[in-house]
Structure 1
Amino acid sequence: MARYGYFLSSEEFTPAELLDQARAAEQAGFEALAISDHFHPWNGEQGQSSFVWSMIGALSQVTSLPVTTFVTCPTVRMHPAVNAQAAATAGVLTQGRFRFGIGSGEALNEHILGDAWPTADVRLDMLEEAVQVIRNLFTGEELTHRGRHYTVENARLYTLPEQPVPLYVSGFGPKAAALAGRIGDGFVTMAPDEELVGQFRRAGGGRKPVLGGLKVCWGTDRQQAVKTAHRLWPNEQLPGELAQVLPVPAHFEQASTLVTEEMISEGVVCGDDAAEHTDAVGAFARAGFDEVYVNQIGPDQQGFFDFYRSTVLPRLREEDTP
């Protein structure tokens, strides 16, 4: 049976709004939280981008739900050793309910220090070494490491949870899925792709958790919901590797001029058709996912939570019942 969670969008909402959504998600019957980790939003309309580690500390005080980053790039903007300390403290604050979702990142967030943006293969190699550093620091032993990408000298974490924080590795293609199966405690991907799940499991993932998520725009006026999604999240419909290589929000705004309202209408669940919402979320469970996270686009959060509490979540759980 899949577990259904709420996806907190740090790019669209203020810290206070995210905390309100976390409380509302728990009250509505969602079982877990995911939160994005960005330095920039994708475009100026979204308009926010809070520091994820501050948010996780705050979330630990207002909700009892598990929290997973969707996802952090632990390789460029912050050194793996610093990410290890942040994740360990998050594990302590949440009393073991934090899962560290990690990936190879996007230039949008990681180029800000002026480093060259590596190719995909190099980014995956950096991620693998970062995981090695983080896991070694999670032991509580002193670490000195001199690798291809990172140096660590005499580092030791003193604030540690009772059990090491799980590392869930993100991927959108076969190489990343295979890497996740080999080095991760779980897999994160954002499409209900049964073949990708299979690649993860065959590469060593076995029965480890697979997590996914999607955006919807609930509203009683479907056309208005389409307009809201088009205004705030046209970048969701951009193809290929653009999300990984474009460096600033202005570039995403330029590329998104090619995204029409018709594309949003076809590609994003909009409106209040319960069957459409249930089918889109349930597609992940049918593809073998263990956890599915839903994000509501736009300001009508309470309407969304009421709709999912009363209608969508009961239907999903009924479908999951053998």
Structure 2
Amino acid sequence: MVSFGYTLMTEQAGPVDLVRHAVAAEEAGFDFLVMSDHYSPWLVEQGHAPYAWSVLGAVAQATTRIPLMTYVTCPTMRYHPAVVAQKAATMQLLSGGRFTLGVGSGENLNEHVVGAGWPAVDTRHEMLAEAMEIISDLFDGGLVDYRGMHFQVDAARLWDLPDQRVPIGLAVGGAQVTERCAPLADHLIGVEPDAELVAAWNRTKGAAQIGTDGARGIGQLPISWDPTDADAATARAHAQFRWFGGGWAVNSDLPTTSGFAGASKFVRPEDVASSIACGPDLDAIVDSVRPFWETGFTDVAVVQVGGSTNDRFLDEAARPLLDALREAAG
């Protein structure tokens, strides 16, 4: 059974709206919620970037059943990993066991703000592995001292630790981070329906492969639904999501919204429409999601492009779309 989620995209809406969207998504029948954790929007046109963890705490109290997840938190620069572990444990308590910590190596756009520079990719992976070790050690419940190449922890302990250990999802884009960090994670996170990504994960995890004993492969993709107008949906996707086409090798290194604007200035609306389902056709949206479950993902979260359209999407399109997705996925 494939699970379908809704993305609370902090780049597109303010904190009050995000909480309202979370409640509406739960009522519409989505299986889980994911939330981005960024300091900046990708483009000025998106216009928002509230603090994700405050919003998550509010969402945990405003909803009752739906699982919650960061998609994803970088536990290496803006946040020390010991602090991330404390945040995650607190969220698990506030949500009644509904929280998953999604982590990744981050993007320059969000992490350079603390003035520590932006490390090379190999260093970022080393930092992520150390951070995940620290988080896991703290989740074990004891007193933690840690001396690594990048992080130190001095007599740290989580004093409010949930009975249910916080699961960890790992955002991966290639073999290097999979080999180094997958043994420290429970679930795969990926934004492309890449069968080799899933296969590499399964080889690394051995018996703990995706789809066994609750291990998940969690994907995400943008859609731009509009009740009547495919051209309006395309224009909205172009305005707010043209940055998406650069790929993560580029997106992880650009430092500012102006950098993303410059990198995407030659992206045309038709280029965006070729990669993002735009308009009222729910069958087209289903077809755009289909490659994820066909390549082995167990969970897929959609991003409705355009914060101003999310209320209408959740009111009018979410239920029929979920019915169509579940029927198609079997």
Q: Could you give the per-residue CA deviations for residues 212-260 of structure 1, whole angstroms, max 9, x where no partner exists?
A: 1111110110011100111111101124522111111111111110211
Q: Which amino acid aligns with 1:117?
A: W
In the aligned structure 2, how far is the partner of 1:89 from the partner of 1:191? 31
Q: Is the 8 A contact 1:32 1:67 kept in 2?
A: yes
Question: Following superposition of structure 1 onto structure 2, how do residues 72-221 of structure 1 map, counting pairs within 5 Å?
Answer: 72-204=73-205, 205-207=208-210, 208-219=215-226, 220-221=228-229
Determine the structure 1 residue equivalent to 2:256: 248
Alpha-carbon shift at residue 177 of structure 1 (Å): 3.0
1:140 and 1:184 map into 2 onto residues whose CA distance is 17
Q: Is the 8 A contact 1:72 1:102 kept in 2?
A: yes
Contact 2:243/2:264 (<8 A) preserved: yes
Please tell me whether the aligned partners of residues 229 and 279 of structure 2 are also in contact (alpha carbons under 8 angstroms): yes
Aligned to 2:295: 287
| AA partner of residue 159 (structure 1) | D
- Aligned mates of 2:170, 2:246 — CA distance in 1: 23
SS at structure 2 position matched to 1:214: strand
Match for 2:209: what amino acid?
G
Contact map agreement 2:286 2:328 (CA 8 A) in 1: no
List, as ranges, runs of 4+ consecutive aligned residues in structure 1 with deviation greater than 6 Å.
Answer: none
- Cα distance in 1, alignment partners of residues 147 and 163 from structure 2: 28
Indicate the larger mover: 289-298 or 307-316: 307-316
Aligned length: 321
CA distance in 1, matches of 2:239, 2:327: 34
Q: Matched residues in 2 for 1:309 and 1:155: separation?
A: 44
SS of the equivalent of 2:69 reads: strand
Corresponding residue for residue 43 of structure 1: 43
Which letter maps to 2:294?
R
Provide TM-score, normalisation by structure 1: 0.96
**Is the partner of 1:241 in helix, strand or coil?**
helix
Larger deviation, residues 275-284 vs 185-194: 275-284
What letter is aligned with 1:251? G
Aligned-pair CA distance for 1:286: 1.4
Secondary structure at 2:78's aligned position in 1?
A: coil
> For residues 303 and 110 of structure 2, what CA distance do their matches in structure 1 show?
21
Secondary structure in 1 aligned to 2:274? helix
SS in 2 for 1:270: strand
Q: Deviations over 1:264-288 (max 9, x none)?
A: 1111110011211111122211111
Aligned-pair CA distance for 1:102? 0.1
Q: Give the 3-state SS of the residue equivalent to 1:245 in structure 2.
A: coil
1:311 has 2:320 as partner: yes
- 8 Å CA contact 1:187–1:209 kept in 2: the answer is yes
Instruction: Give the residue type in structure 1 aligned to 2:123.
Output: V
How much has 1:318 moved relative to structure 2? 1.6
What's the TM-score, normalizing by structure 2?
0.94
- What 5-or-longer segments of structure 2 have no aligned partner? none
* Counterpart contact for 2:29–2:319, Cα < 8 Å: no
Give how far 1:109 is off: 0.7
How many Å separate the matches in 2 of 1:307 and 1:169?
Answer: 33
Pairwise CA distance, 1:313: 1.2
Q: Distance in 2 between matches of 1:179 and 1:52?
A: 27
Percent identity of the aligned residues?
39
> Take 2:285 and 2:167, find their aligned partners in 1: how far apart are those partners?
30
- What amino acid does structure 1 have at the position aligned with 2:110? N
d(CA) in 2 for partners of 1:45, 1:269: 20
- Where do 1:53-68 residues align within 5 Å? 53-64=53-64, 65-68=66-69
Structure 1 unmatched runs, 5+: none
2:235 aligns with 227
Alignment-mate amino acid for residue 322 of structure 2: L
